[in-house]
Structure 1
Amino acid sequence: MIEQRLSHERGSADHGWLKARFSFSFAHYWDPEQIGFSDLLVINDDQIAASKGFGTHPHKNMEIFTYILEGALEHKDSMGNGSVIKAGDIQLMSAGSGITHSEFNPSNSHKTHSLQIWVMPNTENTQPNYQQHSLSPEEKRGKLKLIISPDGEENSLYIRQDIRIYSGLFDAREQAIFTIPENRYVYLHVAKGSLIVNDLVFNAGDGARIRHERQLTFSHGDNAETLLFDMRPVESNYPYA
């Protein structure tokens, strides 16, 4: 069963410098029907104005994944990390027992478009950790590339949860088939462009909860960029539900 949720059905916020869309309940946006899926709690689609960003703030016991679609983010944290995350880069920060960090758009003329994704960890109060990796378009072109996993396999980033995250780019005749492992749930998020998955049309910002399916076929992409989350078959691990 593929349960689509279209882009315009998401929550939203407009702070002037920050325009955000929320796939799941977050901050002031609360929908009891949208409180995450399995261990996936947050997908925030953020557009950050030039020279603006998030000041220093804390996190604890959360796996925080940042995926840059356009522009860049300058990151600093209490672990001593300082880096610029650019389009095509992925960053995974395991907050563990507690960290503080800041994120700013370093450009004085261009916006940054990013996804910030939160995953509930399978263990608490661990040592905080930071990882960053750059992926070329060729690594994701016409296929689903494993980018985050619990074992760090295939040069993916290591996450403290039973979840595997894939990224893919699809255009024109490019096709891919993803076989869902037995007794697993999948969440699909289309970040850019459009494509067809199992005869359903997905456009930028659309997502879907996927249960009891065995195979997903990706085709007819139009500058499409997508993320796929392979997860435990539980409905929600939202900590405040």
Structure 2
Amino acid sequence: MKTILHKANTRGHANHGWLNSYHTFSFAQYYDPERLHFGVLRVLNDDTVSGSMGFGTHPHDNMEIISIPLSGDLEHQDSMGNKQVIRQGDVQVLSAGTGIYHSEKNFHKDKEVKFLQIWMFPNKKDVTPRYDQITLDADKKHNAWQQVLSPNADDEGVWVHQNAWFSMTKLDAGKSLDYQVKGKGNGLYYFILEGDVEVDGQKLGKRDGFGVWETELSKLTASTNAEVLLMEVPMN
């Protein structure tokens, strides 16, 4: 088993006033040659956006883009004609493929929106752009892994052009969960949303990231009530 630890206080940080963003991996003005990506996981941004503010229309291509609101509501518009509000408990995926334009802004004037912006390299280039969004059943992640993303359109959660699976859990203090790696050669990246946990002997706190690979099984134990996002991704 190989591991890598990214403590919350070592992340890149940019505060633009309307946007307060923490970068687990190199992004925009934050560059660390040791933190370019974890396998195909390229961007993990922890963003807080002020009321009515947001990202103006901008282009993407050949990237799988996943947004997970943690609190508040995010309004999405894109060049495919989609206009949606993504709320806490939703997961959104955008396959940029041959190229799209989109914008994201805080739907409300009077409160912040907090969300994770995640990018993955796709396993095929120049696909037809696509958009998908689902609402999760929050009860399914209580002391269990709830799958929220996979490579398969007929599986639970959204799907992506990549041999990747994302799962989330809300774990009571003292509870443990095992995770069996689904894709041969895949690695696991844990991102701790709330609370204190232990993963394969490593103690972790809020917003810490921890990568594990060259293993088939991983164990998560909650030291306090905790919420965790687990991203299983190809390492090559």
Partner of 1:144: 145
Aligned equivalent of 1:31: 32
SS in structure 2 of the partner of residue 27 of structure 1? coil
SS in 1 for 2:37: coil
Letter in 1 for 2:152: D
1:210 aligns to what? 212
Tell me what 1:123 maps to. 124
Deviates more, 1:13-22 or 1:100-109: 100-109
Structure 1 runs of 4+ aligned residues shifted over 4 Å read none
Deviations 1:93-127 (CA, angstroms, capped at 9, x unpaired): 00111111111111121111100000001111111
Corresponding residue for residue 75 of structure 1? 76
Can you give the 5+ residue segments of structure 1 that lack an aligned partner in the other structure? 235-241
Contact 1:50 1:108 in 2 (8 A): yes
1:109-120 maps to which residues of 2 (within 5 A)?
Answer: 109-120=110-121
Contact 1:93–1:131 under 8 Å retained in 2:
yes
8 A contact 2:38–2:235 mirrored in 1: no
Counterpart residue number, 1:237: none
- Counterpart residue number, 2:21: 20
- What is the distance in 2 between the residues matched to 1:109 and 1:53? 14
Structure 1 residue 230 corresponds to structure 2 residue 236: no
Contact 2:7 2:207 in 1 (8 A): yes
User: 1:24 deviation in Å?
Assistant: 0.4
Distance 2:143 2:155 in 1: 17
Cα distance per residue 1:169-211 (max 9 Å; x no partner): 1122432111235532111111223222223221121001212
Please say if residues 5 and 208 of structure 1, whose CA atoms lie closer than 8 Å, have aligned partners that are also in contact.
yes
**CA 1:136–1:145 in structure 2 vs 1: closer, same or farther (change >3 Å)?**
same
Aligned alpha-carbon RMSD (Å): 1.5
Amino acid at match of 1:28: Q
- CA 1:203–1:129 in 2, change beyond 3 Å: closer, same or farther? same
Structure-2 separation of matches of 1:216 and 1:155: 21
Deviation of residue 221 (structure 1)?
A: 4.9
Please give the secondary structure, in 1, of the residue aligned with 2:133: strand
TM-score, length of structure 1 as denominator length: 0.92
CA distance in 1, matches of 2:160, 2:223: 29
- Bigger mean CA deviation after superposition, 93-102 or 194-203: 194-203
Q: What SS does the aligned partner of 1:222 have? A: coil
Alpha-carbon displacement from aligned partner over 1:120-149 (angstroms, at most 9, x marks no partner): 011111111000001122121111111111
Aligned counterparts of 1:151 and 1:111: Cα–Cα separation in 2: 33
Q: Report the counterpart of residue 194 of structure 2 in structure 1.
A: 192
- Alpha-carbon distance in 2 for matches of 1:93, 1:213: 30
Is 1:53 matched with 2:42? no
Q: Return the offset for 1:217.
A: 1.9
Whether the 8 Å CA contact 2:150–2:156 is kept in 1: the answer is: no
Match of 1:84 in 2: 85
Q: Is the 8 A contact 2:190 2:209 kept in 1?
A: yes
How many pairs align?
234
Q: Match for 2:100: what amino acid?
A: I
Question: 1:23 Cα deviation (Å)?
Answer: 0.5
Distance 1:126 1:143 in 2: 34
Q: Partners in 1 of 2:196 and 2:49 — Cα distance?
A: 23
Whether contact under 8 Å (2:3, 2:213) holds in the other structure is yes
Between 206-215 and 22-31, the greater mean CA deviation after superposition: 206-215
Letter in 2 for 1:211: W
Q: Structure 2: which 5+ runs fail to align?
A: none
Q: What does residue 95 of structure 1 align with?
A: 96
Cα distance between partner residues in 1 of 2:6 and 2:14: 18
- Superposition deviation, residue 153 in structure 1: 4.5
